[in-house]
Structure 1
Amino acid sequence: MSQAADLAIDARGVATITLNRPEVHNAFDDLLIAHLIDLIAQARDNPQVKVLVLASTGKSFSAGADLGWMRRMADATREDNIKDAHQLAALMENLNNFPCPTVARIQGTVMGGGVGLVACCDVAIASDQAFFALSEVKLGLAPAVISPYVIAKIGTSQARRYFVTAERFTAIRAAAIDLVHEVVPAAELEAKTEQIIATLLANGPQAMRRAKELAQVANPLPATPALRDYTIGVIADLRASDEGKEGLRAFLEKESPAWIARR
């Protein structure tokens, strides 16, 4: 039975973490989140690692939260939701703070929390067939835990739009708002990623670590513990709210939620 995510480290010191749940569009649940945290720690603690690549199998890069997981958490206590959201926050924080350069290789659709993963990477390369959406409000939720990283990447103005509209946008648009750095034809995605990796490997490993620190120290919206706790509280409250439960129910039953007027 294949793992939900795999870690491979090659002779160059390139670590690749691959999401491997194509049957659910690489959506993540509590088990996958814990597994990813462990894989990131393994890569971080390996002195041979110089670059980390985040990739996935199948048609989608990541559809965000797994619906079965969301269903369970909608019925959980606020305390359990807080604990659960802490794990997601830890995943984003550990990826964002990975000491070596990180590269996201994006071959398909990226939704919700998947956008957070992209935002936490230093370099993001997308196929021209990729689509993106911060889709949480359609379910009566909000992109809470990922918000510090997404806002740091795309800026307040774009976040104010896409957080509330939940619009789908193309890879070209994602590049225009700085969520991704380059968009290439699907057939060239792997080659472009390898080109970026080669560029990184030509640089001083310790110098890149310090250069990455510089960019993060100057971050206008640092992910502080206080901000983390606030965003965790927001998502915990919304998951257990009547609106959040109605949004999830409507999505699962392929109906319009109650807040959309019937005609």
Structure 2
Amino acid sequence: MTMQYETLLVDVQAQVATVTLNRPDVRNAFNETMIAEITAAFTALGARDDVRVIVLAGNGKAFCAGADLNWMRKMAGYSDEENRADALRLAHMLSAVYRCPKPVIARVHGDAYAGGMGLVCAADIVVAAETVNFCLSEARLGLMPATIAPYVIRALGEQASRRYFVTAEAFDCATALRLGLVSEAVSAGELDATVERIANTLRANSPNAVRECKQLVQDIAGESINDVLIEDTAVRIARIRASEEGRDGVSSFLEKRTPRWRESA
């Protein structure tokens, strides 16, 4: 099943949705149309029962070069109110990817710069070609990576963000792997097979458990281990034990049978 967009290719096959940035002539730089379409696509796919995994990819040489320069030139003439509204649309796009209830795999085949790095950092799992470069280039243009910062700092860590925010240096895939931004670095020829392997692993797991695990990390990362957090985690495990998929998962393991969610995968 294929949905039609102006700046994206969106396809769903075997419970895996692939969202491909499709502006290769401008290195998949995003404008207001792409921002709106990414937001809409991830919102729609996140609500679909026939989708268990979303792969975010790009066409052409680059994964995403960040903001379209023509769009940025137009923004220079915006009023303060218009600029804030425009920035909020970008922030909502990143949030739609990050908070999507389905696990998101970024398939990074080419360079990811500026806002393109924001998209990568909003994903749950990042598989990148070994030749890819990353760059937070905003400071070179007199700007700062403000809307992408919450996701980049979580992915890179505070100390690395201190450096790359202010230097605007490009760094290679090996560095990104060492910093934890990239989950797996592979040759270009291995990229699709690696993404498929991870997607199949996710498809084999309980859809409800995957959704709840993703939310769990987002909710408790960085939180203090106190009585409130301890109570919250106890409530969560008690709830999922009593869920339909929780009961079926434990029973199927003990009975040495396939759980029902895997039969439909």
* Band of TM-score, shorter chain: 0.7 to 0.9
Q: Which residue of 2 aligns with 1:87?
A: 89
**Aligned counterpart for 2:178 among listed residues 158, 168, 176:** 176
> Which residue type is aligned with residue 132 of structure 1?
F
* Count of residues paired in the alignment: 220
Alignment check: 8 A CA contact 1:152 1:219 kept: no
Q: Which residue of 2 aligns with 1:57?
A: 59
Q: Which residue of 2 aligns with 1:20?
A: 22
Q: Spell out, residue by residue over 1:101-142, the C-alpha distance to the aligned partner (whole angstroms, 9 max, x if none).
A: 110000001000000001110000000111000000000000
**Aligned counterpart for 2:209 among listed residues 197, 207, 210:** 207
> Which residue type is aligned with residue 163 of structure 1?
F
Q: Spell out, residue by residue over 1:150-196, the C-alpha distance to the aligned partner (whole angstroms, 9 max, x if none).
A: 10111110100000000011011111111111100111111111111
| In structure 2, distance between residues paired with 1:72 and 1:219 | 38
> Which residue type is aligned with residue 34 of structure 1?
A
Alignment check: 8 A CA contact 1:110 1:131 kept: yes
* CA drift at 1:39: 1.0
Q: Which residue of 2 aligns with 1:68?
A: 70
**Aligned counterpart for 1:9 among listed residues 4, 12, 16:** 12
Alignment check: 8 A CA contact 2:111 2:134 kept: yes
Q: Spell out, residue by residue over 1:35-93, the C-alpha distance to the aligned partner (whole angstroms, 9 max, x if none).
A: 11111122112111100110011110000000001000011111110000010000011
Q: Which residue of 2 aligns with 1:145?
A: 147
| In structure 1, distance between residues paired with 2:186 and 2:117 | 18
Q: Which residue of 2 aligns with 1:258?
A: none
Q: Which residue of 2 aligns with 1:35?
A: 37
Gaps spanning 5+ residues in structure 1: where? 222-263
* CA drift at 1:2: 7.8
SS of residue in 2 equivalent to 1:42: helix
Q: Which residue of 2 aligns with 1:245?
A: none
> Which residue type is aligned with residue 73 of structure 2?
R
Q: Which residue of 1 aligns with 2:260?
A: none
| In structure 1, distance between residues paired with 2:130 and 2:154 | 23
Alignment check: 8 A CA contact 1:61 1:110 kept: yes
* CA drift at 1:220: 2.5
> Which residue type is aligned with residue 120 of structure 1?
A
| In structure 1, distance between residues paired with 2:87 and 2:182 | 25
SS of residue in 1 equivalent to 2:156: helix
Distance 1:207 1:58, change over 3 A: same
List, as ranges, runs of 4+ consecutive aligned residues in structure 1 with deviation greater than 2 Å.
Answer: none
| In structure 2, distance between residues paired with 1:88 and 1:3 | 17
Alignment check: 8 A CA contact 1:152 1:220 kept: no
Q: Which has the higher contact order (CA 8 A, sep 6+)?
A: 1
| In structure 2, distance between residues paired with 1:71 and 1:179 | 30
Distance 1:2 1:43, change over 3 A: closer
SS of residue in 2 equivalent to 1:62: coil
| In structure 2, distance between residues paired with 1:142 and 1:125 | 26
| In structure 1, distance between residues paired with 2:222 and 2:118 | 17
**Identity %, equivalent residues:** 43
Q: Which residue of 2 aligns with 1:187?
A: 189
Within 5 Å, give how 1:105-116 maps onto structure 2: 105-116=107-118
SS of residue in 1 equivalent to 2:63: strand
SS of residue in 1 equivalent to 2:112: strand
> Which residue type is aligned with residue 9 of structure 1?
V
**Aligned counterpart for 1:160 among listed residues 159, 162, 166:** 162
